[in-house]
Amino acid sequence: MRKELVVASSVIVLFFILLAISSSIKEPEIIPTSDKQTASQQSFVPNTVMINLPAVDSQGNGVVAKLKVQAISGEGRVLTNIDNILFWVDTQYSIRVAETVAKNITGADLSKVDLIYTIEADASVIEGGSAGAALTIATIAVLKNKTLPSDVMITGTINPDGTIGPVGGIFAKAKASKDVGAKLFLVPEGQGSQINYIPERTCEQIGPVTFCTTKYKPQKLDISKDIGIEVKEVSNINDALKYFID
């Protein structure tokens, strides 16, 4: 009889121990799907950034186009609105590379963000690829919710590794940049000066025949000195960002 009482007591004690343990265990909290956002998504703020694009038209004259980049809530799309741009395939490729480089630099999650690129120009602008560096700068700025100074302009292609490649028409672009109020013009490394070849024609009379020859004399142009705008060379986007974003 005493043995049975001990067993019964043990069972009762065990029951209350298990009851206490079960009551202390909390059921897992169910988090709504809308709250399961990454840090980058939570910090995303719809934004618009403007930047000037130095370019050359079909006659080789310097012109300035307007670029607007908008970041809005969306589905990870890249949308373009480009008018009067020759070689627009080059421009769209540059936009894609600019988005990739900007995403790598900022670490932003763009799966729920749409980027809208609008380029406006008064003339048919050539060399769409030369806008790559500016496209990247503007994309980084819109993702970081920064504004860009209007007195700094840049030309250069953009490569997937973030390096800035050479372009043509530097002299004409620098002049156009100064004409719209830019004080600093960023160019690809090695393009701070330009070599022009000046034709020199000489003629010699030999009997009844005049023989003429044309030689081309190289002339080095210092863009900063000859145009009157400060020029700095940059090799990659991180170098260029120092002049655009504090």
DSSP string, 191-221: -SEEEEEEEEEEEEEETTEEEEEEEEEEEEE
Give, in order, the Cα–Cα distances in Å from 126 to each of 112, 134, 163. 33, 15, 21
The residue to which tokens 């009762």 are assigned:
12
Return the SS3 of 28: coil
Of these residues, 173, 175, 177, 178, which one is catalytic?
Answer: 173
Q: What are the residues whose beta carbons fall under 8 Å from the beta carbon of 105, sequence distance 6 or more?
A: 140, 162, 237, 238
Of these residues, 94, 130, 175, 177, which one is catalytic?
Answer: 130
Give, in order, the Cα–Cα distances in Å from 151 to each of 119, 138, 154, 158, 173. 19, 14, 10, 21, 14
- What is the C-alpha to C-alpha distance for residues 14 and 20, in angstroms, rounded to an integer? 10
Give, in order, the Cα–Cα distances in Å from 114 to each of 50, 102, 145, 166, 214. 17, 14, 15, 29, 56
- Does the active-site annotation cover 130? yes
AA identity, residue 132: G
- Does the active-site annotation cover 173? yes
Give, in order, the Cα–Cα distances in Å from 32 to each of 52, 79, 100, 109. 43, 31, 31, 20
In the DSSP assignment, the letter for residue 190 is: T
Would you please indicate which residues are annotated as catalytic (active-site) residues?
Answer: 130, 173
